[in-house]
Amino acid sequence: MAESWGTAFPSDYRDFLAVYGAGTIDDHLLIATASPDLGETTLGDLTSVASRVTASEDDDRPYPVWPEPGGLICWGATVDAAALHWDTSDADPDRWPVIVRSREGDFTRHDRGFAEFVVRMLGPSAERPLESPTLYGAPNSRFLSATEQRRLKSEGTDPWEYLEELYEANEADDYDADDGPLIMWHPDGTKEVIPGGTPDGG
């Protein structure tokens, strides 16, 4: 991973990939892999898109894009076209903040790492870093690895079938978005329940 990019990656991101792999939460929040040989969406795919987009914009863009020194590496995206990056200007990857580029082209810096950003996206709506009405949050959100999504589709099953029920419950005001466990589906099809909760602080 580090060899092909010429840099290490944050330890929380590496730990996440080692356990869960690349995938998506609620068909809304995509988390990419750094490995180009897995047949999944990669950091390189997303960063290439970010590079093309920023190249078409004004020269006064606030951040360079990798492989420029300190450039942004795009590790994720949302269904509503927000791109999620690391600012790699710090020599220590565990101190890389998250930079969000909105659909409109605005950049917002979040002084927290990958894992905390994702956890906060699953917390109460008013406390999330981004507006995400189709990300249901704990205790109802599910992470499905790209491998698990392919397996379900090959069996004729919609991986995101549960979202319709959540939507209907939400519309009926029966949905409770308080913190709770997050259901994580591993590539082998086993389920793990991660205790919820949002870290203290802003």
**pLDDT, tens digit, 9 for 90 and up, residues 154-176:** 999 999 988 888 776 665 444 44
- What the block records as the tokens of 107 is 């950049």
What letter does residue 48 receive in the DSSP assignment? H
- Quick one: average pLDDT of 12-32? 92
Give the SS3 label for residue 191: strand
Looking at per-residue pLDDT, the higher value among 198 and 134 belongs to 134
Domain that holds residue 45: 2-194
Residue 201 lies in a domain: no
pLDDT, tens digit, 9 for 90 and up, residues 89-105: 999 999 999 999 988 88
- Assess if residue 202 is contained within a domain: no
- Give the residue among 98, 86, 95, 12 at the shortest CA–CA distance from 43: 86
Poorest-confidence range of 1-15, 28-42, 159-173, 182-196? 182-196
CA distance 200 to 139: 18
This prediction's pTM: 0.76
Is residue 199 a part of any domain in this protein?
A: no
Q: Which two tokens stand for residue 134?
A: 């189709």
Number of folded domains that form the chain:
1
The answer as to whether 136 is a domain residue is yes
In a domain, 29, yes or no: yes
Residue 200: inside a domain: no
Would you say residue 91 lies in a domain?
A: yes
- Cα Rg of the chain (Å, integer): 17
